[in-house]
Chains A and B, each alone.
Chain A
Amino acid sequence: MVVIFTAVAIMGGLGIFFGFGLSLAHRFLKVEEDPRLDAVEDLLPGSNCGACGEPGCRAFAENLIEGVHSPSTCSVSTASTIESVAALLGVDPGKQVKRVARLFCAGGLGVARQIADYRGEGSCRAAHLVGGGGKACSWGCLGLADCMVVCDFDAIQMNDQRLPVVDVDRCTACNDCVDVCPRDLFEVMPVTQNLIVQCKAPLEGDQARAVCGVACDGCGRCAQDAPQGLIQMENNLPVVAYDAGGPATPVATHRCPTGAIQWVEGGQFKPSGHPVKEFCLD
């Protein structure tokens, strides 16, 4: 009986002693924090996606309060969230152009020429190392969905051609798919930039057409048809300079012999888009 009392007394005494220490620490060693920080963080989506360039939502909230970012830098938040964050902090919500990930390849199944059958670990990064995968084109999409797996927002789905289709509404421009693609086929760009060259193969003419039905063969017609200076040919591929040239119009795509350059409104690879030539093996 005495043993139990002694034990309770010792443990209780220790508890009181450390509790007192903790309360002192809480009073005198307290780190002053802006009360708005927690409030802002609560409003933010909490996905820690990194699209704003900060390591997470709390770091972004700190920078918001310091005025480094404007609330609209967060591409995941909805318009109402941005408004309420701006109202809470009493700052201008800022303007933000919606940015999305675009795939620079349209050579899906049945369109890009397949020369071998890859059997092995089912990831693009693994297939890329084994003789470059099964496609004749060594720049094209491998179709093994590493980007779909890495996307935290379920914004990427593979279509029946085994091409990743980015859901424009869900995409937060976080760059995860850009980093994961072994062939660097994704690029994050403003949704208002409608002219997209869906090919990265620097091959020319017949060589390009031999590997894919929708390859850019470097003919340069789009560069001629577009307003002066808008499109430049580099490495047999058109490069669209939105800030340098005149306004971009769908005219540039009209004479494209393969449909490699497309005028995209909303998501890519819509069935109603330009008819895609089926690629037939010789």
Chain B
Amino acid sequence: MTQARSAKSFSHGVHPAEHKQASSALPVERMPFVSLYTLPLSMHLGAPSRPVVQAGDQVRRGQVLAEPSGFVSTTLHSPATGRVVSMDLARHPNGQYVPCMMIEADPFDTQQFEPAEPIDWRALPIDGFIEHVQRAGLVGMGGAAFPTHVKYKLPEGKRCQRLVINGCECEPFLTCDHRLMLERPAAVVRGAEIVASKLGADSATIGVELNKSDAIAAVRHELPADGPIAVQPLKVKYPQGAEKMLIKAMFGVEVPAGKLPLDVDIVVNNVSTMAAITDYFERGQPLVERIVTVAGPGVDRPANLVVPIGTPVREVLQYCKINHEARQVVMGGPMMGMPLASLDVPVLKGTSGLLAFTEAALNHPNEYACIQCGRCLEACGNLLNPSRLARLARAELYDELHQEHVLDCMECGACTFACPSGVPVVHLIRAAKATIRKRGSKDA
């Protein structure tokens, strides 16, 4: 009760049905190794990595396959011991063919990871720390896959006052962060400690929604006495896990339009990223696997799986017994996730869930005219006017869209969810944003 009273939130937002009960009680299990892994050289935002091994080379699990090709780029490691089969174009979940590295796993290898000596992070200067994070191949594991080390590079004159650890997991169906906080709370807290101390943050706050009260208790239990780390319970609302909403909910601070959290002296990281930091600095394990929630009415055996990066989606779904009713597979959550055109695409570093939906569960409403009810305005956490943006997008008035701050839209989909007329608001906005970016790159 006291928790509920102290819970915070932001204004606006929506309340989609949670659907988390199917997988929230299932302990994390490890998926067996498959025979072939496909690793796109660009599964993060930024420049693609540069391969350092060749076809035919033997590689060990965790060995570096590709080096970063710039600062906004990261390292790629082998998810399994085996052989590099080829480097070729292969399908990325976004539908495009991209250069990929194929790794054939050695069926006779134990695939055991040999822990390395812990890295003395306290002794590292900040630049060395950032280099280590880049070498660990860490990206934001909440979905956007932005290279983590770039967030730690504070521009001249900037200071990270507060570190925010995002454990909201506000998307329906997804339970991977929930299970992680429940099963490895110490790793999350340890990672937060490392990052907070290296960035010189005054405080670190782990934000968790109230529907994960057991996770709140588990993480609280691990908190060191009078340390700078705290857990902040949050009301259940979508899109609480969007970093700007989270900052607003926790501190009442608004990140200005077009600015980043760093402009209000805050760095936001996902809980999975924190656990990955701990894995790297304490065991030397780079980002070669992640927890993926496999759920939805289209799978008979929902699960929270530790999946090596690069595992084909088809294999993961077959392991979880995808049934014949499944009609659509979404990578990520149902609100922001990407429907897949092909199952022969790999699990990426940013893949938090694989959801299979049946025809009955799919919601393809008929579209009617906008009745100007304003529900999308009440839903939009960024205080935009989605209905106007959608109409301008249909009319292809790109300068006006720009003036209406279309680029501040985070594409959370709350407006589409709220629309009683079935207007695909966020889809129209996304298409318009893509066109604006394309025109911008042409003009430049």
In the complex, which residue of chain A has the Cβ closest to the Cβ of B424? A121
A129 contacts B by Cβ under 8 Å: yes
Write the B293-322 contact mask toward A (1 if CB under 8 angstroms, else 0): 000000000000000000000000000000
Contact A131/B340 with A120-B427, A121-B427, A126-B428 known, Cβ cut-off 8 Å = yes
Asked whether, in the complex, the Cβ of B435 is within 8 Å of the Cβ of A125, the reply is yes
Asked whether, in the complex, the Cβ of A131 is within 8 Å of the Cβ of B427, the reply is no
Whole-angstrom CA separation of A131 from B430 in the bound complex: 13
Asked whether, in the complex, the Cβ of B431 is within 8 Å of the Cβ of A125, the reply is yes
A123 neighbours in B (Cβ, 8 Å): 431
Asked whether, in the complex, the Cβ of B341 is within 8 Å of the Cβ of A133, the reply is yes
A259 contacts B by Cβ under 8 Å: no
Q: Which of A110-140 contact B (CB under 8 A)?
A: 115-116, 118-121, 123, 125-126, 128-136, 138-139
Asked whether, in the complex, the Cβ of A129 is within 8 Å of the Cβ of B96, the reply is no
- Shortest Cβ distance from residue A132 to the other chain B in the assembled complex, whole angstroms: 2
- Shortest Cβ distance from residue A126 to the other chain B in the assembled complex, whole angstroms: 4
Contact A121/B431 with A116-B341, A133-B341, A203-B89 known, Cβ cut-off 8 Å = yes
Asked whether, in the complex, the Cβ of A132 is within 8 Å of the Cβ of B94, the reply is yes
Looking at A128, A138, A202, which has the most chain B CB atoms within 10 Å of its CB?
A138
B257 contacts A by Cβ under 8 Å: no
B413 contacts A by Cβ under 8 Å: no
B16 neighbours in A (Cβ, 8 Å): none
B339 neighbours in A (Cβ, 8 Å): 130-131
A126 neighbours in B (Cβ, 8 Å): 424, 427-428, 430-431
Total A-B pairs, Cβ < 8 A: 63
Asked whether, in the complex, the Cβ of A116 is within 8 Å of the Cβ of B342, the reply is yes
B383 contacts A by Cβ under 8 Å: no
Contact A115/B341 with A138-B95, A138-B97 known, Cβ cut-off 8 Å = yes
Asked whether, in the complex, the Cβ of A120 is within 8 Å of the Cβ of B434, the reply is no
- Shortest Cβ distance from residue A127 to the other chain B in the assembled complex, whole angstroms: 9
The interface size bin for chain A is: 20 to 34
Asked whether, in the complex, the Cβ of B89 is within 8 Å of the Cβ of A202, the reply is yes
The interface size bin for chain B is: 20 to 34
A182 contacts B by Cβ under 8 Å: yes
A133 neighbours in B (Cβ, 8 Å): 95, 341
CB within 8 A of A203: which of B94, B97, B424? Answer: B97
Write the A177-208 contact mask toward B (1 if CB under 8 angstroms, else 0): 00100100000000000000000001100010
- Shortest Cβ distance from residue B140 to the other chain A in the assembled complex, whole angstroms: 20
B338 neighbours in A (Cβ, 8 Å): 130-131
B5 contacts A by Cβ under 8 Å: no
Looking at B89, B93, B424, B428, which has the most chain A CB atoms within 10 Å of its CB?
B89
Whole-angstrom CA separation of A138 from B93 in the bound complex: 11
B132 contacts A by Cβ under 8 Å: no
In the complex, which residue of chain A has the Cβ closest to the Cβ of B427? A121
Whole-angstrom CA separation of A184 from B94 in the bound complex: 17
- Shortest Cβ distance from residue A275 to the other chain B in the assembled complex, whole angstroms: 28
Whole-angstrom CA separation of A203 from B96 in the bound complex: 12
CB within 8 A of A136: which of B94, B342, B427, B428? Answer: B342
B431 neighbours in A (Cβ, 8 Å): 121, 123, 125-126, 129
B442 neighbours in A (Cβ, 8 Å): 179
- Shortest Cβ distance from residue B112 to the other chain A in the assembled complex, whole angstroms: 35
CB within 8 A of B434: which of A116, A129, A202? Answer: A129
Whole-angstrom CA separation of A182 from B91 in the bound complex: 18
Write the B349-384 contact mask toward A (1 if CB under 8 angstroms, else 0): 000000000000000100000000000000000000
Give 28 A-B contacts (CB < 8 Å), ordered by A residue: A116-B340, A116-B341, A120-B427, A121-B424, A121-B428, A121-B431, A125-B431, A125-B435, A126-B424, A126-B428, A126-B430, A128-B95, A129-B427, A129-B431, A130-B339, A130-B341, A131-B94, A131-B339, A131-B342, A132-B94, A132-B95, A132-B96, A132-B341, A133-B341, A138-B91, A182-B434, A203-B97, A207-B89
- 4 further A-B pairs in the complex, CB-CB below 8 A; given A123-B431, A133-B341: A120-B427, A129-B430, A138-B91, A203-B89
The interface of chain B, by Cβ under 8 A from chain A, is 88-89, 91, 93-97, 338-342, 364, 424, 427-428, 430-431, 434-435, 438, 442
